[in-house]
Amino acid sequence: MSTSEIAELRRTIGQLRQCVGALRSRYGDASAVRRLANDVERLDIDTADLDGVPLAVPAQAKAAERVPVPDTPYDPALWHGADDEGVGGYKRDQR
């Protein structure tokens, strides 16, 4: 992340922390409020971790490899015993 992205993320986490504080004032020490507070702390910790990580350099995209697909029909033995998808086994014996 760039410096401006990190700064924006920190600002947003600060706003989120204020919102969770307001929720704590309204709902007290409810388990949902504790989880939200924990999530905000986790975001803050992860942001600090990202701040120290060097930026990843995107890998060069490989040229698309072409795979020839023949126009000839497939061998029917390839599909022996397979069900048509969505039909639900219409070829099976009904007992």
Domain boundaries, the chain: 3-52
Angle (nearest 5°) at CA 8 between 20 and 59:
120
Contact present, 2 and 51 (Cβ < 8 Å): no
Give pLDDT tens digits along the chain (95 positions): 578 889 999 999 999 999 999 999 999 999 999 999 999 999 999 998 888 776 655 555 556 778 888 888 888 888 777 766 666 555 555 55
Tokens for 92, please give them: 């099976």
Whole-model pTM: value is: 0.54
Q: What is the dihedral of CA 47, 48, 53, 59, to 10 degrees?
A: 0
Indicate the helix (H) or strand (E) that contains 40: helix 31-52
The CA distance from 69 to 46, in Å, is 46
